Amino acid sequence: MLTDFSDDNLAKNYLKFSNSDEGQKQHDLLWHYIEPRLAGQSNLKILDAGCGTGWLANNLRPYAQSVKAFDSSSRLLEYGKEHSPQVNFLKTDLADKLPFADQEFDLVVASLVLHDLPKLPETFQEFRRILKPQGKLLIIELNSYYAYPVGSWTRTIWQKLTRLKPKLTISPYGDWKRRIDRKFAWGEGFNSYFYTLPEIINAAHESGWNLEFMEDLIAKSNSEKLDLHFRAYRFPIFILLEFRKQN
């Protein structure tokens, strides 16, 4: 199974985050970097893989002839269907064989979903199967050098008393890379998997993808609050990878 969002309580918590001010800042940051990769394109057949609430699928519509989106959470799909009726939503799991025809899409977007997968090669192979020749795959992922579980924002007791902002604390990256069990918990009942950036790129390359573009996602504005703008202004928590299907 791809994600614990198939659990209704966890899906409700994610929906609450997505609609929060912090969630909207995350959406804005990701879209700021995704949209330029679509410049000059239109009439595309697009798939949003692991779509969550469907906010990204909805943003992709001006560039598309059609947009399909899927997730394993019934609750998130219901929200997506209500708020983005022009997107074709369906329920499936990214860890399974996808219910799409060979060479159906021009573009697949997978935003913050690969770290929920226990295995990467099978997913990259499925993406390759459903994309047209020279089709593109856009991935947004956690930056393994700075994001959790390697990076975490902490404050000492003194910093709390003096209301100083927390700093990014980096745990030994090599310890995570050497682990056999890469599973880590965001919270109770919600687990993901730690992948290094080379592991993601190599898994894609071995499955028939060429990496054409890579970019750190840095917030364009600072913040006085301890929010995503504050963290992403200082460190590239997310990274964008653009692959093209090899012939």
The DSSP secondary structure of 103-119, one letter per residue, reads T-EEEEEEES-GGG-S-
Q: How confident is the model at residue 4 (pLDDT cuts 50, 70, 90)?
A: low
* 152-199 pLDDT tens trace: 987 666 666 666 777 899 999 999 999 999 999 887 667 899 999 999
- Report the alpha-carbon distance of residue 29 to residue 23 in Å, rounded: 10
- Residue 191 tokens read as 């687990």
CB of 91 closer than 8 Å to CB of 70:
yes
Tell me, what amino acid is at 239?
Answer: I
Report pLDDT for 154: 77
What pLDDT, on the 0 to 100 scale, is given for residue 2? 45
Bridge pairing between strands 167-170 and 183-187: unpaired
CATH number of the structural domain 4-144+183-245: 3.40.50.150
Task: Give the DSSP letter string of 166-202.
Answer: PEEEEP-HHHHHH-S--EEEEETTEEEE---HHHHHH
With contact defined as beta carbons under 8 Å apart, do 46 and 107 qualify? yes
Torsion-angle region of 22 (φ positive above 0: left; ψ -120 to 50: alpha; else: beta)? alpha
pLDDT, tens digit, 9 for 90 and up, residues 51-90: 999 999 999 999 999 999 999 999 999 999 999 999 999 9
- The domains of the chain are located at 4-144+183-245
Residue 21, both tokens: 């001010």
Percentage of residues in the chain with pLDDT exceeding 90?
Answer: 81
- Strand 88-91 vs strand 64-71: parallel, antiparallel, or unpaired? parallel
User: What is the predicted pLDDT for the residue at 167?
Assistant: 85
Q: At what angle do helices 8-18 and 74-83 cross, to 10 degrees?
A: 40
